[in-house]
Amino acid sequence: MKLSTSRIMSLVLLVVLAIASGCGAVNGIRAKSELNDGALAYRSGDYAQAQQHFERAIALDPDQKNAPLFRARSIEQQSRGGNDAKAREAITAYQDILKNDPNSEEAYNGIARMYRVLKDDKALREWVTMRANDNNAPIEKRALALTFLASEKRKCSNDITEKTENKQTVTKGNKTVIEFKKPKDPAEFETAQRCVSEGLEFANRAISVDANSEAAFAAKANLLREASRLAEMEGDQAKKADLDRQFEESNRRYEQLRDENKRKKDAAASPSPPTT
């Protein structure tokens, strides 16, 4: 029986599809094998070998969900010890993950870690600021980003107020206390004031985004403590007393949220009572 051209083409197409399907199945199996070999290499500390296995898994099965993250982690591990080139390579790997999965916290946090490894504070601040200003990000993530920025500002002031020349230990009655002195350089004091002011803005924004953010209230309390030190340096006791009161309020709220979160965590970890 003579087959028509269209019939022959249909049969050829079926054969091609069958072969392709078979190849896809084989590649999937090989990809899983590469993933397993990569995991073994990673656990043994051979991160370069792990990276190669994960890259082969991706080449065999581009739809593999876990391989890109495993690859990025293996590159990140190679950045330890000051390998800046690998740190930048890891950033690129995490960025590639975010292109396909914009909500990947693993990738977001990985990039932040790599900026710290590179000691690139400017890039880290810019990266966190993007999250802080992203209205589409989950509120708790935005609040944490704003809290990070607030904490950076607090550190800016604390580095100044904690200088040996800007404080002194004195005895009052039976107590030894630390008193803070205004820096001799006016620009240094102005820097501390600006950092505290900007930090409190970030902390208050974090609280407005997530009123139950434990970290945001802790950051605000620490900044108010810094503000109190600066008021003491200026000799403004009334302002210092008001800032101390605000500190106590913020610190109490922080402690309340901390205790509530601990109770929730403990309750979630406790086994459920048996049912009858």
18 inside domain: no
204 inside domain: yes
The residue range of the domain holding 186 is: 138-264
Domains in the chain, number:
2
**113 and 179 assigned to the same domain:** no
**99 and 190 assigned to the same domain:** no
Domain boundary among 84, 119, 154: 119
Q: What does the pLDDT look like over 221-242, one tens digit per residue?
A: 999 999 999 999 999 999 999 9
163 inside domain: yes
pLDDT for 29 equals: 81
pLDDT for 173 equals: 81
How many angstroms separate the Cα of 145 from the Cα of each of 94, 157, 236, 244?
A: 18, 19, 33, 26
What CATH number did the domain enclosing 43 receive? 1.25.40.10
17 inside domain: no
Domain boundary among 65, 87, 119: 119
3 inside domain: no
pLDDT for 64 equals: 84
**84 and 187 assigned to the same domain:** no
**99 and 156 assigned to the same domain:** no
Low-confidence ranges of the chain (pLDDT < 50): 1, 3, 11-22
